[in-house]
Amino acid sequence: MNNNAQGEDHQPKKESLDSRFNQTLRNVQGLLKGRSIPGKVLLTRRLELFDNSGIQQQSPSYQRSYSQNDAARSNDADKYMEGGVRNTNNSDSNATVNKLRSSASNIETSAREVKSVMGARSTDSARVLKFTKELSGQMIVVERLRELAWSGVPPYMRPDVWRLLLGYAPPNSDRREGVLRRKRLEYLDCVAQFYDIPDTERSDDEINMLRQIAVDCPRTVPDVAFFQQAQVQKSLERILYTWAIRHPASGYVQGINDLVTPFLVVFLSEYLDGSIDSWSISELSSANISNIEADCYWCLSQLLDGMQDHYTFAQPGIQRLVFKLKELVRRIDEPVSRHVEDQGLEFLQFAFRWFNCLLIREIPFHLVTRLWDTYLAEGDALPDFLVYIFASFLLTWSETLQKLDFQELVMFLQHLPTHNWTYQELEMVLSRAYMWHSMFNNSPSHLAS
C-alpha cells in the first residue's frame, strides 16, 4: 500500500515536471523571437518574411532518395516533445530533475524579464531593421550581430553578415573594402603559385591529393544540378586544393568539399538572381568568379581554424565530440541510449559523418544556409554546440529508434527521413539544442561517465 501510494505521489511530480519542461520550450519558441537570452536569439516556429519567402525563392526543394519513413517524421517529433527529457535511472533522474527545475525557472524568469522590457513580440520587419542598423554603422559590434544572426539572417544580407561573423571582413567599414581587395588578390597569387602549375612541379602526395579532390567534386551535393556544372566543380577544385596546400597539418580530408558549398551558394547570390536551379556560373566574369572563390577560401579557412583537430590525422576532434554526443544522449534520453548500445551500434558509426560534414548530407540543401547562420553566430563555441544540435537532431526520432534492430538502425540513420523537412523542423531542432545547452553545458557533472 505504502509503495503504491509513494508511486502515485511520484507520478504527479513527474508529470508536473514534464509539463513544466514542455511549457518552458513553448515559451522559448513562442514568445522570444528576436529577443536576447544570455547571448542568443531564440527561435519560433513561425516562419515569416526572410525565413520563408526570401529563402524559398532562392532555394527550392531538391529531391533526395531517402527511405519511406518520411510520413512518421512529424509524429515522432511530436511524441518526443511530449515525453520531454526521459531518464529511467533513479540517480540520474534525480539529478536531471533538479537541473530541469533550476533551468526551467531561470529560463522562464528570463522570458518574463525580456517580455516586460521589450513589450509586444518583435516582428520580422523589425528584425530586418535591426540588421540594417547594425550593418550601416561605421564600426560593427560583432557580438550584437551574432545575437541577431543566431535565429536567421535575411538572404540578401547573408554574404556581408557571414564575412563579418567569420572575421574575414573587418568590423570597421572604412577598412573593409581595402582588406577584401587585398585578401582576394592574395588568393589569386596562391592559385597561381600552387594550382596553375604543371604536375611535374608537384610532389607525388600533391598529385594524389589533387586527384582525390577531382574525384570528390562531382560527388558534392549530387542532388543539386547546379553543383554538376563543370565550372562550379572547377571552382570547388581550386578552392579545396589551394586550402589543402596552405594547411599541410591536415591537407585535404573528404568532407571538407561539402563545407565549401554553403559559402559558394551565399556568395554567388550576390551576383545571380532567382533560384539556384536556374543559376549558371558561366554568366559571370572571371573577375567575379575569382572574388567568389576568394571569399569561399578565406571563410572556409576561418571556419576550420576553430576546429583544426577535426581534420588532422585520425581526426581526434571529431572522435572527442562523438563521445560527448553519446554521453549527452545518455543523460537526455536514456532509453534510446540503452537501446542503441544493446543493439551493438556505436555512435561513431553514424555520427562521425555528421561532425565531418556538419549535417550538410543529412538535411535538404535549401535548409543548410539557415542552419549555418546559427553555426557561424556561435563563433568559437561552435564545436561544443554542435553536440547539442546533433543530440536534438538524433532524438527527433526517439520513438522510432527504439523499435529498430541493428541493421534497421544502420539503414535508418544512413537515410534519415528529412526529405520533406521545412524550416519548422529545423527550428525545432535548434530550439531544443539551445535549451539543453542552457541546462547542461555549465554542469560538467551531468555529462561525466
Calculate the CA 68 to chain-centre distance: 25
Eight-state DSSP code of residue 36: E
What is the pLDDT of the chain when averaged over all its residues?
81
pLDDT digits (tens, 9 = 90+) for 297-311: 999 999 999 898 999
| 441 pLDDT tier (thresholds 50, 70, 90) | confident
- Give, to the nearest 10 degrees, the angle between helix 423-440 and helix 90-118: 110
How many CB atoms are closer than 10 A to CB 127? 22
pLDDT at 150 over 70: yes
Q: Identify the CA nearest to 24 among candidates 94, 82, 111, 98.
A: 111
pLDDT at 158: 97
Bridge partners (DSSP) of residue 41 are 36
Question: Taking the domain 122-306, which CATH number applies?
Answer: 1.10.8
pLDDT at 438 over 60: yes
pLDDT at 447: 54
Please give the Cα distance from 42 to 177 (Å, whole number). 32
Q: Which residues contact 126 (CB under 8 A, 6 or more apart)?
A: 34
CB of 436 within 8 A of CB of 391? yes
Mean pLDDT of 228-240: 97
Please give the Cα distance from 384 to 176 (Å, whole number). 30
CB of 60 within 8 A of CB of 276? yes
Residue that is written with C-alpha cell 537501446 in the block: 339
Find the helix or strand (DSSP H, E) in which 41 lies.
strand 40-41
- Give Cα separations from 206 to 65, 203, 239, 246, 299 (angstroms): 35, 5, 15, 12, 23
pLDDT digits (tens, 9 = 90+) for 42-80: 433 333 334 443 333 343 333 333 333 443 444 444 444
User: Are 122-306 and 316-442 in the same CATH fold?
Assistant: no
pLDDT at 265: 98
Q: Identify the CA nearest to 85 among candidates 355, 388, 417, 385.
A: 388
pTM, entire model: 0.76
Phi, psi of 172 (to 5 degrees): -80, 115
pLDDT at 28 over 60: no
pLDDT at 442: 74
Q: Residues 19, 378, 359, CA angle at the centre, nearest 5°?
A: 80
Take residue 18 and report the three cell numbers written for it: 514534464
pLDDT digits (tens, 9 = 90+) for 371-397: 999 999 999 999 999 999 999 999 999
pLDDT at 97: 42
Spans of all domains in the chain: 122-306, 316-442
Residue range 316-442 forms a domain whose CATH class is mainly alpha
Judged by DSSP in three states, 222 sits in coil
Convert 205-236 to b/e letters by CB count within 10 Å (16 or more is b): ebeebbebbeebbeebbeebebbeeeebbebb
